[in-house]
Structure 1
């Protein structure tokens, strides 16, 4: 301890307010110092970090970083090492094989996630996700645990058309294969737009019970219901007919399918696609409106049944940082903020608190349908299937569109895959079935 000062107290210096230039210089130095410290801590690996893999790239990635990740990092002082890839399934598979999987992943396929859960790769989320925060079709239990929840959702049983198109014109266009805007291309996952068609036709023609049995692997591909969905799709799109029409569908990336809507004369009128496509430039310019697909699918008998899809969050490493991120992503505030910037919707009722007049009418209508507890919501069947079946299904739609005469052989092959040992099938893909309450 220092000896106490015994001399006379020094005179107090006169108080002077720092000059603005001095304040600015000091503030700038402090900012630079803080940035240097942050960079130094990261360089030394001392800042808590969580790794995240998702499929958002480009504008979507920037929105996700600005709206979700940066506020998380500021609030929790945890760095998020984000990797965005349109081939996330392949990236995740390679990372798992190498023993370096991310802490948190966002995938579109519950079937793929179920396979990882059965391998012991995923961690249960019951204590991290709000109870009753999402519907049953979004947080399907597996072996008594919940392993995923939706960050974003989309409605799929819809057909888009330009504003000003009357009901008679819509019905007429639906009967003309050339009036459908179709793009089957999607890189390594090409063919999935065709699976959406067949799934939705089966749902509208045969109902949720048949749809769920098929998605669970118990209704054969060669059944009358499933084969009927394929042949209906083939007639609607002119499979095996006009070679130029088929070639256009097979070569067009799904993102560009709607481009002919804005041409003069119009190249196509209708697009069977999920709610996310409404943000495409062509549908913005055409002031796109939507019609429930059941009104345009031949032989449709189901009412109030909707195919849905989503981006699902799962946990692979239950570190403290990763668990904090999971709780954050499942919160109503984050769901609301992300979906206000993204093209999808939140299916958390707590997140739907926008004023009644906010947003476009089509957007409010789609959001209401996703949350309607009187409707039946069935998750995208191919996404719910085991990955080997899902991938073969997508490939088969491309082959069928070009060569519809191969259908029996394609369905036989899919039935053989369905019966392969060791596959993980979800027991439920619909939030409820008619008559079950």
Structure 2
């Protein structure tokens, strides 16, 4: 052990060669001027458009944006000397749609919905990326071939078949809470995309109760919304979060609560809810789960009538190429590379599903994060992409609205009407359905 203040030896003050004060002051001023000049030159080059630049639109803001910039973008800019003009928006779908319509789309975009990306492929707005990403690093449910090409790949992934609970909850309390509707934290609000937390519930219930084959048929538009499998998922959801009779107070609470705030009830005294069916990102997005040492359990352990084995609903932020400029192609190759995927997976903002990426070690992050990362990378498990995100945008949006309408009026007659309408919409001509949303190793 070194003594306090010990370190490399330095020359004694008298032994140092000192510059005269005026000369030292002149050098200091000159150095400062050079720094300012260099900064001005860099800014001038960017303004004049002489520095290679790539535009990127994604949905990461706040802490996620900082993590993305620090862990992923900064190393790219330093290595390739290409400036990334990043725009983060929680409404990136609307922003991209407006930019495309105006004829000014970004070079690279990140969206959560492969169904939405498929519509851009149909409109000839996306460029193939199969020659820019490592072959075999991403499975078909993540980098789905469409019209003979691959047009997207995942940078960030999340697990959705999970239920969060406070760390001090016993197994007995957990088993009891799942059968008490008031103990489920639920918020349906999300601005223009309100209702998607309900779609996550329905999707996961279809997967766990009816298996991945039925789930994939439904997500591809081949299984009727009025089928017994899909209808059972809706009624099970109602019974779990509202009770069979449909508790109006609980419905009102869910409809009036933003999804980000649903878990705040966990920290109330006494607690107003204990369980939240929500994707893995909520653990870092909502401070309440940090305050109660939030843990998770697979949803299959709490859902009734489960038949699936080791099946998980997943979601992802998918990278797509709109302008195949040299700079954009470099960025695509980089984002699909193991170093970039590993860097993103090393933060608590998300996970990678690149087959070459290793889960974080014990020294890198917390146990719940390591466990989730390992599940996403487990090639023995079945991973099915979020069904509503994989559906054509019109069907996706109607599905989200239907979950809101059902909570407001959970009677069977209303459910029959909603499911019939979704069937009619799903049969409309011109819709682009994905060929595959699930991985399954036989």
TM-score by length of 2: 0.92
Asked whether the equivalents of residues 346 and 352 of structure 1 are also in contact (C-alpha less than 8 Å), the reply is no
How far off its partner does 1:23 sit?
4.1
Instruction: Decide which of 249, 252, 259 is 1:247's aligned counterpart.
Output: 252
Match of 1:341 in 2: 347
- Distance in 1, matches of 2:406 and 2:301, equals 25
The worse-fitting range, judged by mean Cα deviation, of 294-303 and 314-323 is 294-303
| 1:264 match | 269
User: Deviation at 1:166?
Assistant: 1.8
Is 1:29 aligned with 2:37?
no
Structure 1 position 363, deviation (Å): 1.1
Q: Deviation at 1:324? A: 0.7
**Structure 2: gaps spanning 5 or more residues:** 1-16
State the shift of 1:17 in Å.
7.5
Q: Are 1:194 and 2:202 an aligned pair?
A: no
Counterpart contact for 2:128–2:150, Cα < 8 Å:
yes
In the aligned structure 2, how far is the partner of 1:261 from the partner of 1:228?
29
Cα deviation, 1:305-357, whole Å, max 9, x if unaligned, reads: 00000000000000001001111111111122223234211111323264355
Hey, what's the Cα distance between the residues in 1 that align with 2:341 and 2:24?
Answer: 42
- Is 1:319 aligned to residue 325 of structure 2? yes
- 2:308 aligned to which of 295, 302, 310: 302
Q: Tell me whether 170-179 or 358-367 shows the greater mean CA deviation.
A: 358-367
- Which residue of the partner structure matches residue 84 of structure 2? 80
1:409 aligns with 2:413: no
Give yes or no for contact 2:239–2:246 (8 Å, CA) kept in 1: no
Q: What is the CA–CA distance in structure 2 between the aligned matches of 1:21 and 1:193, rounded to whole Å?
A: 63
Distance (Å, rounded) in 2 between the aligned partners of 1:22 and 1:200: 69
| CA–CA distance in structure 2, aligned partners of residues 358 and 43 of structure 1 | 39
Q: In the alignment, which residue of structure 2 is the partner of 1:39?
A: 43
Deviation for aligned residue 1:124: 0.8
Structure 2 vs 1, CA of residues 22 and 223 (structure 1 numbering), >3 Å: closer, same or farther? same
Cα-to-partner distance string for 1:152-210 (whole Å, 9 max, x where unaligned): 00001010011121222111111111000000000000000000000000000000000
State the match for 1:5 in structure 2.
Answer: none
2:431 to 423, 426, 434: 423
1:378 corresponds to which residue? Answer: 384
1:273 to 268, 278, 283: 278
CA distance, structure 2, for counterparts of residue 314 and residue 209 of structure 1 = 28
Distance in 1, matches of 2:279 and 2:360, equals 22
Superposed displacement of residue 245, structure 1 = 1.3
* Number of aligned positions between the proteins: 420
Per the alignment, in what secondary structure is the counterpart of residue 346 of structure 2? helix
| Greater Cα offset, 326-335 or 188-197 | 326-335
Instruction: Provide the C-alpha distance between the structure 1 equivalents of 2:294 and 2:230, rounded to a whole number of angstroms.
Output: 31
CA-based RMSD of the aligned residues comes to 1.7
Distance 1:270 1:151 in 2: 29
Number of the residue aligned with 2:8:
none
2:65 to 50, 61, 65: 61
Query: How far apart in 1 are the matches of 2:83 and 2:278?
Result: 36
1:38 Cα offset (Å): 1.1
Q: How far apart are residue 410 of structure 1 and its match?
A: 0.6
CA contact (8 A) 1:154 1:275 kept: yes
> Aligned in 2, Cα 1:60/1:20: closer, same or farther, shift over 3 Å?
farther
Deviating beyond 6 angstroms after TM superposition, the runs of 4 or more aligned structure 1 residues are 15-18
Q: How far apart, in 2, do the equivalents of 1:17 and 1:349 lie?
A: 59
Change (3 A) 1:20 1:307: farther
Match of 2:230 among 222, 226, 231: 226
Structure 1 328/22 Cα, relative in aligned 2: closer, same or farther at 3 Å? farther
Q: Deviation per CA, 1:225-261: give whole Å up to 9, x if none.
A: 0011001001111166332211110111111110011
Name the CA distance, whole Å, in 1 between partners of 2:203 and 2:344.
28
